[in-house]
Structure 1
Amino acid sequence: MKSKWGIPRFMPLKTFINPPNGYLVDDNCVFGVEVFVEKSLGLGECLTLKASPKSVSHEWKISKFSTLVNDCYSEVFAAGSHEWKLHLCPRGDEHNKDKNMSMYLCLVDSGDQKVKATYTIQLKGKSGKTHQSTGMWLALLLAAENCSRLLGDECVMKADVKVLGTASKLP
């Protein structure tokens, strides 16, 4: 994508103009360049950062937790002009089947955009016990045998999401 390549400090000027070094002869010098053109794929992205990103909180109340077998999703919520949802795998995802409970923060539809966001996800049960994960992308795993005991039959999954920016493909 660059039209100019080079080395900004290739050689000190004193070395270049010193006649015994042979770079400058009779006030003349010769420069050469080899150019290799590779097929350009023309791929590029435009990164747009938010000036003052705001954190958005969303709570999802999950009833009858102990009876859940299949994956379930929260309602869609908006954060940073994007739509998100929480994904709960009560018996673990494909990598943790029947070993852990897995929870994810999912971007609903970003089109061709990549979204850079930070998040905090909490899982709170009746006992007041809270499990939390923070980062850029989420996969929070909890040991399956402890979940029902710690959470009870009702729990709340809470997400705090802050969209920092987006990257879109250039046309």
Structure 2
Amino acid sequence: MTSHRCLRQELSQQHLTLFTALGITGTWKCPPQKKRHLEVKPMHKKAGSSTPYVALRLVAFRPSLVPGHMVHPVFELSIYNHSRRMYCGCKASYNFGFKNIFSKEHCLIPLQELLKSSAFLVDDSCVFGVEILKIDVSSPEKKAVVVQKKPTTVQNLFVQKKGFVKGTYTWNMNNFLELDLDHFVRSPTFEVGGHKWYIRMYPRGNKYSTDCLSLYLYLDVSDELHLKSKKVVVMTLSILDQKNGKHLTGTSGLLVFTGGRSWGWANFLGLKKLKDPSEGYVVGSSCVVKADLTIVGSSNDC
């Protein structure tokens, strides 16, 4: 079947400002702006090279994608040069699909050059941006796909160098095999840093996974403190190996949480391993999940 394509200019920009960025070596992700978010990797290395680069990539917001549709944006990834008062970067394009949401990483500047620069790093902060130039949407149906224009958005991230707030929560499920495994299960709400959090697990995976258990951390939508500022968090989610002590863990870079928003992994643990008694992830009817959170800063929109 011939696909129908609708091409339309989109004047959409997103800017990410990182304050007190020195010493942070993880990955920064700002929350999705409707259909995409910008990811910053300050320690990315090219194939065959040991030199760390500051790299950017565009990530599609998976719930906004429709199975069978392909989204082909042309965009510019950039870093702001305060001396020249202009953005410097590169033009790129990518084909996004329902299970293909990450563009390639594009290296902008060597990390050491950035840290020594007075043009890109001012008052211990730097600014990154992405501008969507146009979007081409492929649909298997013969109908137009409308791409709405979006305003410019600015995301400020304030990252502390010390005084981090840390917390750990262990979720003991003693009736794991008795749960409705075809749907998600939710942990009791717990508090870290005065905020309410919970874990959501899809024992047989969600619609984005492939034969894997899915695991996510949520900032509770009832948490009123998130209205003042979003939280910048580093998280580790683990399923404990109760026999061998070889726990399965996933650790994030820097993530921005707002009420009702989640971050996690669709393909956290293969179902074959989960069901294997020798792996120790389910013993009898017991499954233990652990969350380690470190709140390292805050964020707001301008």
TM-score by length of 1: 0.65
Q: Name the counterpart of 1:88.
A: 201
Question: Does structure 1 residue 132 correspond to structure 2 residue 241?
Answer: no
SS of the residue 2:240 aligns to = strand
Match of 1:143 in 2: 270
Partner Cα separation in structure 2 for residue 85 and residue 127 of structure 1: 26
2:220 paired residue among 108, 115, 119 = 108
Are residues 1:72 and 2:189 paired?
A: no
Gaps of 5+ in 1: 9-40
- Displacement of 1:102 in angstroms is 0.9
2:233 alignment partner, one of 110, 117, 124: 117
> Which residues of structure 2 form unaligned runs of 5+?
1-81, 86-150, 254-262
**2:186/2:198 contact within 8 Å kept:** yes
The CA deviation string for residues 43-62 of structure 1, in whole angstroms up to 9 with x for no partner, is: 55554444410320100001
RMSD of aligned Cα (Å) = 2.7
Contact 2:241/2:248 (CA < 8 Å) preserved in 1? no
Q: Report the CA distance between 1:80 and its aligned residue.
A: 2.7
Instruction: Return the offset for 1:42.
Output: 8.3
- Which AA in structure 1 matches 2:189? V
1:23 corresponds in structure 2 to: none
Equivalent runs, 1:25-44 vs 2, <5 Å: 44=154
Q: Percent identity?
A: 21
Q: Give the AA of the match of 2:269.
A: L
Question: 1-side partners of 2:194 and 2:202: how far apart?
Answer: 26
One-letter amino acid of the structure 1 residue matched with residue 201 of structure 2 = L
* Rg comparison, structure with higher value: 1
1:54-73 to structure 2, matched below 5 A, reads 54-68=165-179, 69=181, 70-73=183-186
Displacement of 1:116 in angstroms is: 1.5
SS at match of 1:66: helix
Q: Is the 8 A contact 1:125 1:154 kept in 2?
A: no
Q: Tell me what 1:154 maps to.
A: 286
Instruction: Tell which deviates more after alignment, 79-88 or 136-145.
Output: 136-145
**Does the Cα contact within 8 Å between 1:84 and 1:108 map onto a contact in 2?**
yes
Q: Report deviation, 1:115.
A: 2.3
Report how many residues are paired.
133
Q: Using CA pairs below 8 Å that are at least 6 residues apart, which structure has the higher relative contact order?
A: 1
**TM-score, normalising length from structure 2?**
0.39
1:119-151: CA deviations, max 9, x gaps? 111111432341111113421511112213332
CA change 1:159–1:7 in 2 (3 A) is: closer
User: Cα gap change, 1:77/1:7 in structure 2, threshold over 3 Å: closer, same or farther?
Assistant: same
Q: What residue identity is the alignment partner of 2:272?
A: E
d(CA) in 1 for partners of 2:154, 2:84: 24
Is the partner of 2:207 in helix, strand or coil?
coil
